[in-house]
Amino acid sequence: MDCRGLKKLSKPNTHTPCYILEEEALLRNLKILDSVQKRTGSKIIMALKGFAMFSVFPLIRQYLCGISASSIDEARLGYEEFGREVHVCSPAYSDSEFDELLNYADHIVFNSFSQWKRFKATVAGSKKKIMCGIRINPEHSEVKIALYDPCCQFSRLGTTRNNFEENELDGISGIHFHNLCELNSDSLLRTLKVVEDKFGIFFARLKWINFGGGHHITREDYDIDLLCNLINDFKKQYPIEVYLEPGEAIALNAGVLEASVIDIIYNKMNIAILDTSAAAHMPDVLEMPYRPVIKGAGTSGEFKHTYRLGGATCLAGDIIGDYSFPEPLKIGSKIVFEDMAHYTMVKNNTFNGISLPSIAIRKKTGDIQIIKKFGYEDYKNRLS
Ligand SMILES: Cc1ncc(COP(=O)(O)O)c(C=O)c1O
């Protein structure tokens, strides 16, 4: 079905696995983000790596200024479907894709001076006015897990102060940094101080700065006042455009993954096998790792009936976790994983040939509309 042709599900609760985006929750997040833009005059763009469900772009673009892409395909999606500012930031661009990228991007961030020097002439020769920036690495870690820390030892992400070629800034109008992940504004405050200490002498030459992503702005305990104060203070000192490019904050707590129990077995404990998979449909559960919240369930032993929940793939470690329920599970029982809109649809895969979850939206009226279903062709087309 074409993703634009929204079609109502006759029996919405019978179709699993399915990601269901909550329209009202998305709107709540967008209004929070917009309040930051209004209080600070900064611009917030959405990082497509975290959330790229383009059927809701028309709603999102009423609030956010554009998108941030990390590849040519994300840039094209943003250009074609979002239609406002398209910023691109990647660890490296290849010669074969760069010309095409110029069609979509209006801001291009280079990870190194070697990349900037390689593509500078191509950008200058473009008919389109493109703003170029350098990603810096402030060498200041706030993220505790190395896998998610862009400032970890030997990081390839961004140019360190030692490698910053101040004589090569002709044509560079911006600086980009990104060193946060699911963090509060105190982390940004500390980072900004380091960035200013190391790179502040170059700010007078800039038109814009991008504070990257990882700002958990829509989380309940996020200190929005501190964020707004530090952006306002920054802008008073340096009158340049400030961008933020969160991904997760756009869709935080704005969707669920609904699955069903397809078998129950016993091997020294009760084990329920689901028609979903941590490895294929919620990879961050294994990668991060973290334990997703399940609606109505508790930790092991909290309620009377405890089960280990596992996916329908062959991977021994395809385990979501141990959960307890007030009532025994049965074949067909629905399991609703909370907060599954971000870093799921964009990361999922068809490992073992298991089907991708459908994508649906719960409208403000409560109606569920299936936007996309996947089938055999989606599996096959990726393989040859
Ligand atoms: C350069 C850059 N910008 C933005 C983001 C979005 O971060 P988040 O989804 O945590 O807000 C990321 C995430 O890895 C990133 O690498």
CATH topology classification for 7-19+253-380: Lyase, Ornithine Decarboxylase; Chain A, domain 1 (2.40.37)
CB atoms within 10 A of CB 296: 12
Pocket test for ligand 1, best of 178, 188, 209, 287 (most atoms within 8 A of CB): 178
CA distance 244 to 36: 10
Report angle CA 293, 343, 190 to the nearest 5 degrees.
90
pLDDT of 189 over the 70 cut: yes
pLDDT, average across residues 120-144: 97
CA distance 11 to 300: 32
Tell which residue, 95, 105, 43, has the closest CA to residue 73.
105
Going from the Cα of 71 to the center of ligand 1, the distance in angstroms, rounded, reads 13
Nearest atom within ligand 1 for CA of residue 182: 10
Point out which residues pair with 46 in neighbouring strands: 67
Phi/psi at 42 (5° precision): -85, 170
Going from the Cα of 329 to the center of ligand 1, the distance in angstroms, rounded, reads 38
Q: Cα separations (Å) of 127 from 2, 84, 133, 171, 291?
A: 34, 18, 18, 15, 49
Pocket test for ligand 1, best of 245, 250, 345, 346 (most atoms within 8 A of CB): 245
- Residue bearing the CA closest to ligand 1, atom 9: 247
Tell which residue, 347, 354, 285, has the closest CA to residue 321.
285
Ligand 1: lining residues by beta carbon, under 6 Å: 47, 49-50, 68, 89, 178, 181, 212-214, 245-249
> What pLDDT does residue 6 have?
39
Could you tell me where the DSSP H helices lie in the chain? 23-40, 57-60, 72-77, 95-104, 113-124, 185-199, 224-237, 248-251, 278-281, 284-287, 376-380
Pocket test for ligand 1, best of 32, 51, 70 (most atoms within 8 A of CB): 70
CATH 2.40.37.10 intervals, the chain: 7-19+253-380
> What pLDDT does residue 14 have?
54
> What pLDDT does residue 359 have?
98
Going from the Cα of 95 to the center of ligand 1, the distance in angstroms, rounded, reads 24
pLDDT of 12 over the 50 cut: no
Residue type at 183? L
Query: What DSSP string describes 315-327?
Result: -TT-EEEEEEESS
SS3 336: strand
332-383 pLDDT, tens digit per residue, is 999 999 999 999 999 999 999 999 999 999 999 999 999 999 999 999 999 9
Half-sphere exposure of 146 (CA within 13 A, CB side): 5
Q: Cα separations (Å) of 265 from 11, 303, 325, 329?
A: 28, 19, 16, 11
260-317 pLDDT, tens digit per residue, is 999 999 999 999 999 999 999 999 999 999 999 999 999 999 999 999 999 999 999 9
Pair 179, 141: CB distance under 8 Å: yes
Going from the Cα of 13 to the center of ligand 1, the distance in angstroms, rounded, reads 33
Tell me what the pLDDT averaged over the chain comes to. 95
Nearest atom within ligand 1 for CA of residue 135: 1
CATH 3.20.20.10 intervals, the chain: 23-251
CA distance 146 to 137: 15
> What pLDDT does residue 15 have?
87
pLDDT, average across residues 236-244: 97
Tokens at residue 366, please?
A: 């409560």
What CATH number matches the domain at 23-251, 3.10.450.50, 3.30.413.10, 3.20.20.10, 3.40.50.920?
Answer: 3.20.20.10
22-42 pLDDT, tens digit per residue, is 999 999 999 999 999 999 999
State the pTM of this model.
0.95
Query: What DSSP string describes 70-130?
Result: SSHHHHHHIIIII-SEEEEE-S---HHHHHHHHHH-SEEEESSHHHHHHHHHHHHT-SS--
Nearest atom within ligand 1 for CA of residue 247: 9
Pair 339, 50: CB distance under 8 Å: no
